[in-house]
Amino acid sequence: MSQSSTERYNLIENLRMVLRLYAVYDPAIGYVQGMNLMASAILLHMKEVNPSFVYLKEVMNYGKLRDFYLQNFDFLKE
């Protein structure tokens, strides 16, 4: 089953919103290249912006995943 142009546009806009919400929530990280892969998988599963943002926030705060995305990748140097 193929997606219409409108459905694809909505998915892209929803992904942008999830990433923007996270960037505002955690300005120390903001948006880092590669976060879109994780956020898009979450969004495809959760289907809505707000639950996807909450889940992304929880995933980033679990363990040291958030530290992985910090600028300069200091976590990787340990």
pLDDT in tens, 4-52: 777 777 899 999 999 999 999 999 889 988 899 999 999 999 999 999 9
- pLDDT exceeds 80 at position 76: no
Cα 21 to Cα 2, 40, 50, 72: the distances in Å are 29, 14, 9, 22
The whole-number pLDDT of residue 7 equals 75
The whole-number pLDDT of residue 33 equals 84
DSSP 34: T
Number of folded domains in the chain?
Answer: 1
- pLDDT exceeds 80 at position 1: no
